[in-house]
Structure 1
């Protein structure tokens, strides 16, 4: 298995309304996929407005991650402007090299 960083960009004027309507379903989705989605959370600008989100996902391939992304209620609701799926190699954690 590989680790992937998934970067979401949200740039819709109605993003707050979409987020509010779909947040419960989004959290349920994250919980149901916790074996793959190791951590997730929003990204905010300095003025504390939402900018998007970040996931760390364990999967066999970026195609597997892409399929997972497209099952997220936030994706199907049109919240996400874009997504980047990048392979990530952990080389430093807890103050030391791995």
Structure 2
């Protein structure tokens, strides 16, 4: 099953994000069999990210929630809110890099 995971970071925690960024990127790379797409979300390219978005392939919503609890951005307390949604892909062609 496919899921969209939307993360919202705690306000004013850009320094914490920067501190754990390298560990987070390594974690995502280690889990790319499940985390198919991952990236930060921001209003403008130069802004500090407000959160992130993942597309995850997993057998259940519970499996996605279990997976994300080992992400350094989660364990360091950066995340204010997390929403896990079932995602239905509309186009079959691969449009993401």
TM-score by length of 1: 0.87
Alignment of 1:1-98 (within 5 A): 2-13=1-12, 15-46=13-44, 48-94=47-93
Q: Which runs of 5+ in 1 are unaligned?
A: none
Structure that is richer in strand per residue: 1
Q: Which deviations, in whole Å up to 9, do the C-alpha atoms of 1:69-93 show, x marking residues without a partner?
A: 1100000111000000000011225
TM-score by length of 2: 0.88
Q: Which deviations, in whole Å up to 9, do the C-alpha atoms of 1:34-88 show, x marking residues without a partner?
A: 1000010000024734211000000000000001111000001110000000000
Which runs of at least 4 in structure 1 moved beyond 4 Å after TM superposition? none
- 8 Å CA contact 2:61–2:84 kept in 1: the answer is yes
Higher Cα radius of gyration: 1
Residue aligned with 2:50, SS = strand
- 8 Å CA contact 2:42–2:50 kept in 1: the answer is yes
- 8 Å CA contact 1:12–1:79 kept in 2: the answer is no
- Work out the number of aligned pairs and report it: 93
Residue aligned with 1:92, SS = coil
